[in-house]
Structure 1
Amino acid sequence: MKILLCCPYPLAEARGNSVAASRLAAGFRRAGHAVAVLAPPEVDDPAAVRSLAGRFRPDVVLVMHAWRCARAFEALGGEGFLAGRETDDPCDRPRRAGGEADRTPAGPFAARETGVSRGHPSRPGYPSELVPVGRPPTRRETDRARGHPGGLGEPADLLAAGAPPRVVSLRGTDLNEMFDRPDTAAVVRAVLDASAAIAVFHAEAHQRLVRAGPGWAGKARLIANGVSLGCSEVDFRGRLGIPRGAFVFGAVAGLREVKRPLLVLPWLERLRGSEPRVAWMHAGGPQEPAMAEELRAFARGRPWVFHLDHVPPAEIDSFLRAADVFVAASRSEGMPHAVREAMLAGLPLLLSDIDGHRAMAVPEREALFFTDEAGFLGQARRLLTDAGECRRLGSAARARVEADLARDDEIGSYLALFSEVLGRAC
C-alpha cells in the first residue's frame, strides 16, 4: 500500500500533529508500506500537492487536520469548495504557501535557554509494541514504488487517474473549535462530507461528531492516539536554575489561547503565600504573540516562573520528570500528546475538566480535575502535602496509558481502515 500523509506543521516541530504524523509514518513503513509526507510549505500549495501526489500515486491519503489541511484535501480531490475562501487560521501563526517555510519568532524567554538545544531533532524510534507485525509489500506495490526512492515515479495527472480515497483524522481543534466558527465550519463540513472515512480519538468525540452530522456516523471510526516516551538524562532543574527543594508544577503547551497557559499562574501566586516553595515550569512556543507577551509581562519580577520556548522531543521525558505535578488547563482538547506523555512519565495530573481530558483519565483514580480557582487550589494543596497521593496518582496514570497501548493498535487500526476504504473503492 502507498500512503500519503498530509501534516499541517513541519514534522520536526514539537506539536501534537507533527509527533503523530512522524509516529504513523514510521509505523506504516515498519509494516511494509511506502509512505510520503506532505508538510509545510508544500501542504499549503495545491500545485505542489498535486505534483507530489501525481508522482507518488498514493493508494490512500491520511489528512491529519480537516481545517488546516483543507487546501491539500481539495487539491487531491478537485471539489472546488475552497473557491473564494481564506483557509489561514487567524488564531494560528502565519503560513505561506508556495515556497516560504514557517518561521516562528523567538519567544519571550529565548535568552534564558542557555545550554538547551534549540534544534529540532526528529522523533526517536518508537517501541515495537506500538507497531503490529507487518506483511511484505505486494508485487504491485513493489513495482509501483521502483520509480524513485520512497516510491516516487514519473509525474502523472492524479485527478485524471481518479482521486485516491482520503481519510481524515479529526483533531481536537477541528471538533472543538472549527465546527463552532462561522468562518471555518463550512470548510470543515465540506472536507468531512468528501472524505472516505473519519478517524476520531475517543467515544466522546465520536458522539459529538455524529450530533454535528448524523450522515457521518457510517464512516466514523474510533482510533486512539498512540504515544511513546524517550529515555534521556537532562537536568532541566539545574539548567533553569530552579531552587533545590522547590515543588514544581509543570506544563507543556504552545502559547495560544485555547491552551490557557496563563490561567493558573495567578492562582499559584496566591498559593505561594502559604507555600513559598511552589514554582512553575512551562515549555511551549510563542504561537500567538499576544499570549507570549502576556507571559513575558507576568514573569517579570517573578523568579519562580520558568519557561522554555522549545524542548527537543528527544528530551521531553527529562523535562516532564523535572516536575512534581503536570498541569493541563486547556479549554478544549482532542487527545493531547503532552498529557499522555506525562502519564507515561508517572506524573500526577491536575487537569481542566473537559471532555478531552476525561476521555484519558478517571477523576480521583488517574488524575485530579478542576473547574475554577477554588478547585485548582484545593487539588494543588492535596498534592503539595501528600507525597503518597502523588505517587498513587502517577502510578495509576502510567498504568492506564500502558494498558491503553496494549489494547489499542493505532497502526493496525489505521491500516485496517485503509483496507476497508480501498475495498469499498474497488
Structure 2
Amino acid sequence: MFIRLLRYIKGVVRFSLSGGFIERFLNLCTRAGVPVWDTVRSKTGVTACTTAAGYKRLRPIAKKTGVRMRLIEKGGMPFTRFRYRKRIGLLVGALLFALFLGGMSRFIWNVEIEGAETIKEEYLLDNLRKVGVYEGAYIGSIDTLNAENQMMLLTPQLSWIAINLHASSATVEIKERQMAPELIDKKSPCNVVAARTGQIKYMEVYEGQPMLKVGDTVQEGEIIVSSYIEGTQIKERGYFTHARAKVIAEFQEDVRIAVPLREELRTPTGEVVRKRSLHLFGLDIPLHLTGAPKSPSERETETGSPKLFGVKIPLQITTDTYRLVEVHTATLSEAQAREQALEQLNQYESDFSSIGTIASKTASGRLEGEEYVVDAQFLLQQDIARQKEIDVVEEPSAQPPAQSGETKQ
C-alpha cells in the first residue's frame, strides 16, 4: 500500500521498447539509478514502468542503445497537478475543505449511546443536550465529569455513566439501575378493597376481618376485609394484620359496537415520490423544491447518517417516501356488517374470558343510518379483591382505625 501511494505521488509512466539493444538499455537504466519495474517481454519488444522524472532520463539512454521508446499511459499526482494547473478554484476549494475539516474536528459530530436497554435513546439524548453533550457542541467547552454528575441527577434510571470524547465523537456508556418492583410488604397492615362495583357472589377470607358478606353490594374502593382484628376477650386488645382474600363479584357491563356500511379503501397506484431533507446541527434543510404530493398517499420516513473515513458525519439525511394511492368507497351489505360486528363481539368475550367468567349475555343488532349497531349486555364475574396498604398512626383502640382512617395510596 505504501509503495503504491509513493508511486502515485511521483507519477507512473508505462512505456514500450522495441529494436536496438533492449538488454543493454535496461542495464544502463540500473547503473544510472532510474527505477524500472513491471518489465514484461512481448512479441514486439518489452513493456515496463518508471516514474515521471525517470521517464525524462530514459531518452539519452534509448538514443545511445538504439532503442525506440513509445508512451503507453501515464498517471499520478504530477500529471493531475499539471492538468488542473490553471484551475485555481479547485486548489482554493481543497484548501477551504481542509480548513473546514480541521475546524470541525473541534466539534462533536456524533453521539453514540452504549448499554441502553429499557431507557429510550431519545430520552437520553435529550438529557445529554441539557448537560452540553450534543451534535455540534464545542469539545473544549465540555466538562465530562460535571456532565456525568448532572446526568445522574437528571436520569434516576442510571446507576453509572461515562462520557468519552474521541476526536469528534462522543461515546456515552451507561448502566441501568435495577428498579425494585413495587410490592406490598406482607408484614405491613393491609386492607382488601373492591377494584370495582358489583355484588359479591363468593368470598374466601384468608386473613383479616370481613366487613361484608356474600350477597352484599360493594362499591369501588370500599373495604371488603379489614386488617384490624378485634380482641376476643375484655383484656385482649385488637391488632392489625395483612388482610388477604378472594372475592368474586358479579357486575353488568354494556358493550356497543358500530360497523359503518361504507368503508374507505386505499389502493396503491404504483407511483412513488421521494423527498429528501438534510438535518445539520439542529437545522432542517430541504433538498427539494416542491412540497408533499397533493394526491392521497401513504408516507414512509427513513433517516440515515453518512460516514466519512468510518466516522459518522454530523448530519442526517431524511427520505420521505410517498406512495400514491387511489381512494374509493366500498359498500357493505347488512349481512357483511353484521358479521364484522359479531366478530368484534366475539373478540371482546375471548379477551374477558382470560380474566373472568361470563355469566350471561344478551345482544341485539339493527341498522342505524349508515351503521350496523350491536348492543350487548353482559353479566360478568371477576375477582375484585385488591390489597391496599394503610398507615397505622395510633395504637389500636376498640374501633378499627383502618375503616375510618386515611389509607396510603
TM tier relative to shorter chain: under 0.3
The answer to which structure has the higher helix fraction is 1
Q: Which has the higher contact order (CA 8 A, sep 6+)?
A: 1
The answer to which structure has the higher strand fraction is 2
User: When the two structures are superposed, what TM-score results if normalisation uses the length of structure 2?
Assistant: 0.17
Find the structure with the greater CA-based Rg: 2
User: When the two structures are superposed, what TM-score results if normalisation uses the length of structure 1?
Assistant: 0.17
